[in-house]
Structure 1
Amino acid sequence: MSRKKEVENVENLENVEKIESLESLENVEETNTKASKKDKNESTTVSKIDQIVNSVKDKGKIDYSELAAQLGNFSPEEMEKLFDKLEKLNIQVANETVDIDDEEPNIEDLEEVEDLDIEDVNIDTLEGISVDDPVRMYLREIGKIPLLSFEDELKYAKLSYEHDEAAKQKLTESNLRLVVSIAKKYVGRGMLFLDLIQEGNMGLIKAVEKFDYTKGFKFSTYATWWIRQAITRAIADQARTIRIPVHMVETINKLIRTSRHLLQQNGREPTPEEIAVEMEIPVEKVLEIQKIAQDPVSLETPIGEEDDSHLGDFIPDDDSPSPQDAASYTMLKEQLNEVLETLTPREAKVLRLRFGLDDGKARTLEEVGKEFSVTRERIRQIEAKALRKLRHPSKSKKLKEYM
């Protein structure tokens, strides 16, 4: 009886091992299938990105509207990869002529993309970003907003298309995490993180207003375009005291990245010549970009520990005369007034108008003639007579030392 039980236990153990082996094999096959599908999707995405890049490489520039027309089957993450590659190749994505209030991207050819799981957008992943209390409060609030399923998103998109304000608000609130995810990529470009989020939210609102579900593409892809557009335009318009065009901002960013790369590679600050070789542009262009990239400095910047002096106090005015010249000019003016007082009032006024002694603007004979209601010839005679009087040694000796 004991021998029979032992045989049964062995058989049961062999059956369990067979089942576990089959399950393990099925799991391996399932994993390999998923990995194969993932690799295939990634390969397809890379191929499409390369196709878009190659189509605009020769031009070196592409409009946002033109690019948007080629973004079929692209999720926001894939769009980010495309933009990063375009930026690395110095292909400018021009939005200079696009007005976020009026212009709509040409996206009629966009096809429906894969469902973007916004739950994957982790708003807590903010490494390297200084987050103060207002930002934390905002992130905490939007984290409480439930996300929409694809079916719910489509339902609210239809209602929004029919001008349902409540649906528009629901669609906007459910995509606020997408704005944060995009905005954090632009930190460090001259605007506060909360300001970037605010500008991105404006783009999201515009996307909700203009989204047309009947064209068959996903809202998140459409919204990503508007969010990026709003943020990049805000950076160009607001990040600097003196506005720099969008295409130049992109060029400056590339120069900064190139400089950092050469610094890490050589262990020292790169020269303009080295940067020019790396960027394949003339040295003069590098110097021009560096000059444009400089931040303006206020003349009221405090100097010293006591803050009793400012930068403007130490900057000379090259256009102002030296103290010696200013004193000589004042004395000349006084001597000239004394000499003119020896003439008749009419003669003195004619000379003052003809030579601009009062306001620096010299008048023609015709203009002075109109002032006195006489002919040009008569003014010429008065001027000649007055100058003869001034050439008398008793008067001219007072002015010769200033000549």
Structure 2
Amino acid sequence: MNERKASHLNYSELWEQWKEHGDLEAKKKLIENYLSIVDYVAGRLAIGLPKNVSKDDLASNGVMGLIDAIEKFDYSRGLQFETYASWRVRGAILDGLRQGDWVPRSVREKAKRIEDAYQYLEQKYMRTVSDTEISSYLDISERDFQNMLQEVSVMSIVSLEDPIREEEQETRLSLLVDEKAKNPDYKVNEFYLREALVQGIEKLTEKERIVISLLYYEDLSLSEIAEVMSLSPSRISQLHSKAILRLRGTLDKQRNLLMQKD
């Protein structure tokens, strides 16, 4: 098939030509047709990242994820490619960010301090703790705590995408969506981690739950959420950071319990 012929085929025909006949022109056309997915995902992830991280770099990694998605997608199952590709593109971009080690060690340490504080205090009091209580535990002012949240907000973008265990590919966020059947041992662990995540979300404040819902379920950007909630983007970023750090602490605690049972 030549390029002119490929350009006149509809999506289903392009998929058939690529998957059934290995037509590289059809594959090229599919990549071109779905590049908007890369632009959208890269644009969302770019919000809140340091200025030294360029959107072009994000997009470059995203294109690799798109190509991988097109190569692995089973079009015969009648599933929505856009959803599948979005996860692949997002994963490729996040992998690129991790490999670039774009988060300074000092920021990672601050995020860990806040995460540990939430985990300790909420376990101690068995309730959601206030900013005042966290600030007191960290021995800093509330203003300094808010500044810390703003500083670690860039790290929280990938927090739910991090592997549950370093040697595994499964992520915290994968617990929020349906997956193909796993082996029995994995399903047991997944059940307890999912339950821990649900309980963690229930402990969030109302505003934090709304931010998590709009970002991860409704697929809105942080700026769009700020408009919906009539808050500043920086405030939305702080709410997101607090929610993610709380959830990380909850899931890490459950993960440690499961590792002790293994």
Provide TM-score, normalisation by structure 1: 0.25
Higher radius of gyration, 1 or 2: 1
Provide TM-score, normalisation by structure 2: 0.37
Q: Choose between structure 1 and 2 for higher RCO, CA contacts under 8 A separated by at least 6 residues.
A: 2
Identify the structure with the greater helix proportion. Answer: 2
